[in-house]
Structure 1
Amino acid sequence: MNERQYAFNPAVAERRDISRTLRNTYALLGMTLAFSGLVAYVSQQMRVSYPNIFVVLIGFYGLFFLTVKLRNSGWGLVSTFALTGFMGYTLGPILNMYLGLPNGGSIISSALGMTALVFFGLSAYALISRKDMSFLSGFLMAGFWILLGAIALSFFVNISGLQLAISAGFVLFASAAILFQTSAIIHGGEDNYIMATISLYVSIYNLFVSLLQLLGFASSND
């Protein structure tokens, strides 16, 4: 009887689908973060060098678009772990660079704690308030192109404070992306948990690396 009622009640069925997407997203996100962290630890212990920027770009975007293509199949899970594992691999050399600083360990732990605080705080706000954050789409699109232009500019000119501004921009961009993606799940705008997972993972990764850079810069000026 209850199943028949659910079948004829679109609102109830939609809420169940949204709850399922949320559960699957956070479960997969937790597993990919753990896997990425393990790969980063192995990469850091093996002291591998940071890959060439073209290798990073081809690896990331290649695996990202592969995941998008496979998002509706079981192979999408495989490509998701491949993508997050690759990003964990690139994180190892970054961690070694900061560990080489006098207070590198505290910088990493502070960045990690702040990343967790920002992610859980923003996620809780979106989940509890249930506000529609779709208005952030314009900000994210503009922010993407501004950051891309700033990164391209940094390859050709040496402007004091540009890298610091880029890192601060990425913190704002990643924070807005977390709010936007979480809201999209809640309001049914994103019903594919694989896509939701990689979106949140990339935001968390960018947030952590950007906070590392900001804290490292602040520490060097002490």
Structure 2
Amino acid sequence: MDSRMAYQGTKTSVLEQNKVLRNTYSLLAMTLAFAAMVAGGAMALNLPHPGLIVTLVGFYGLLFFVHKAANSSMGLVAVFAFTGFLGYTLGPILNMVIGAGGGEIVMMALGGTALTFFGVSAYALTTKRDLSFLGGMMVAGFWVLIAAVVANIFLQLPALSLAISAMFILFSSGAILMQTQAIVKGGETNYILATVTLFVSIYNIFISLINILMAFGGNDD
């Protein structure tokens, strides 16, 4: 009797984890499409970039909104507001890159982002290794990134900018690994929060790849 109950509990747990994973990927696909539409609109209207201060306030303000509303009916509104805002910030950046003849760079960055996401996600979904050991490294990496970004505001070193972009790619890949495995193992049960984590990671990888490709592409002239 006990073994049957344990089996039923395990089966229910697996079904719940699969449901969270399915909902996360469905919502992620929708938010990516929505952000792409907003970015396209911003590009078509040639809207200016909101600037660093507005971007930071909008990012963290809407992120706070997402976390507050994640377990309510406003959760979906919050996640689309957040991802739409990031899509808007992306539009002027893409206009600048494409205007500088970087259309191919944008396509390469898109391909590289997709390859990274699917490759890292596939590993997280199939590996039997416990990736929780990455937690401490992610915390340390976060503070190193913050310190590097602040330092580069004053130093404006091209080499440091490239290093920061590379670190963002590694950090975001680690976030995808940990978030995906957290869903698979039942550690993450809120698909809205999971979607936001994956979306931000994809956004950071894409922007970082553009920065790196632009830096190296500029050497061809």
Residue number among 147, 152, 161 corresponding to 2:145 in the alignment = 147
AA partner of residue 142 (structure 2): F
Question: Number of paired residues?
Answer: 217
SS of the residue corresponding to residue 9 of structure 1 reads helix
Where structure 1 has 5 or more consecutive residues not aligned to the other structure, the ranges are: none
Per the alignment, residue 36 of structure 2 pairs with 37
Contact 1:181 1:199 in 2 (8 A): yes
What does residue range 198-209 of structure 1 map to in structure 2 within 5 Å?
198-209=196-207
Mapped to 1, the partners of 2:105 and 2:156 lie a distance apart of: 25
Q: How far has the Cα of 1:140 moved from its partner? A: 1.1
Which residue does the alignment assign to 2:78? 79
Deviation at 1:157, TM superposition (A): 1.9
Aligned to 2:161: 163
Superposition deviation, residue 8 in structure 1? 7.3
CA contact under 8 A between 1:127 and 1:183: conserved in structure 2?
yes
Q: TM-score, normalised by structure 2?
A: 0.95
The equivalent residue for 2:91 is 92
Deviations 1:137-156 (A, max 9, x none): 11111111111111111112
Matches within 5 A, 1:114-193: 114-193=112-191
Aligned 8 A contact 1:63 1:79 in 2? yes
Whole-angstrom CA distance in 2 between matches of 1:98 and 1:62: 27
Contact 1:6 1:12 in 2 (8 A): no
Residue identity opposite 2:58 in structure 1: G
- 1:1-21 Cα deviation digits (max 9, x unpaired): xxxx77972211110110000
Q: In the alignment, residue 85 of structure 1 is paired with which amino acid?
A: G
* Distance across 2 between alignment mates of 1:164 and 1:135: 27
TM-score using structure 1 length: 0.94
Q: How far did 1:158 drift?
A: 3.0
Partner of 1:109: 107
Alpha-carbon distance, 1:134 to partner: 1.2
Give the Cα–Cα distance (whole angstroms) in 1 for the partners of residues 111 and 73 of structure 2.
33
Q: 1:212 to 1:6 in 2, by over 3 A?
A: farther
> In structure 2, what is the equivalent of residue 210 of structure 1?
208
Q: Could you tell me which residue of structure 2 aligns to residue 65 of structure 1? A: 64
Identity of aligned residues (%): 52
**SS at 1:161 equivalent:** helix
Give the residue type in structure 1 aligned to 2:131.
M
- Structure 2, unpaired ranges of 5+: none
